[in-house]
Amino acid sequence: MDRLDARIARRLSTFSIVGFDPNNGDLGVAVASKFVAVGALVPWARARVGAIATQALANISYGPRGLELLSKGYRAREVVRMLVSDDPQREERQVGIVDSRGEAAAFTGSKCYSYAGHIVGEGYAVQGNILAGPEVLEEMARAFEATRGELVDKLLAALEAGDRAGGDKRGKQSAAIIVVRERGGYGGYTDKYVDLRVDDHQEPVQELKRIFKIWELIMLTRERPEDVVSKEEVAGKVQEALKKLGFYRGEVTGKWDEETEKAFTDWALINNFENKLRSDNYIWGTVYRFLIESARD
């Protein structure tokens, strides 16, 4: 490895997106890179404050310093300017910021390795360096704007679009996504609505999507209201499944009784579905389908 290659290898050669959802205030970052554990360094977010991606020859202090400035009321453009103004290596830095009012801003230093650049849109900014080309950022921006759903869906779509367009031209290694929502974390105790990392993988973006599907099933309560099944209507199938899995020891009667309720609750708790248990006579369709599929394995 020559001197130039060694310098490139030490940089967070990255494509990322910071975004804001005006409907519920979600803030987040999605990122991928040919760099180990990119999620430990690039993304920073705080509910009701903002989201930041710091990369290239990354000044990691941009993350906590930037969030502190945002919390004091400075807007995204002002924070970008304040962070880079006193940095003697600013021309080797790259940063994207979105604040809690949806203003986005980005900076790409003139010495970031090509292709390097950024696109700032309404409520988001995409940025990257050592990319396959400008199409990486263009496709990310297009996907973010076109995707329906929550911020997490839009961020993942943008990341996948950038990956398909060539991403980091050196290859693939890691990816991460963080979305913060006030009291949106487990049990309402934290603001971490989504916080997932793939630290080292041949296809990190696809692996991140796979892990998110599991996270969504277990952790997020965003099922369609109509996606439910009546306990009475599926009692027999539930009893059969729970019996096969060792949770139900009674007869398959097709009646939802106390023994069936206890067996189902035990199964749900063992499988981390405690936040998906309902207090009525219905089961979420997502949970029911997971139970039936588990019994088939």
| Domain ranges within the chain, ordered by starting residue | 3-219, 228-296
Q: What are phi and psi of 14, to 5 degrees?
A: -145, 150
The rounded distance, in Å, linking the Cα atoms of 70 and 214 is: 33
Local confidence pLDDT in tens for the 297 residues of the chain: 444 444 444 566 799 999 999 999 999 999 999 999 999 999 999 999 999 999 999 999 999 999 999 999 999 999 999 999 999 999 999 999 999 999 999 999 999 999 999 999 999 999 999 999 999 999 999 999 999 999 999 999 999 999 999 999 999 999 999 999 999 999 899 999 999 999 999 999 999 999 999 999 999 999 999 999 999 999 999 999 999 999 999 999 999 999 999 999 999 999 999 999 999 999 999 999 999 999 997
The rounded distance, in Å, linking the Cα atoms of 141 and 154 is: 10
8 Å CB contact between 89 and 81: no
Query: Side chain identity at 295, as an amino acid letter?
Result: A
Instruction: List the helix and strand counts (H, then E) for the chain.
Output: 9, 12
The rounded distance, in Å, linking the Cα atoms of 15 and 179 is: 17
pTM exceeds 0.95 for this model: no
- Which CATH number is 3-219 given? 3.60.20.10
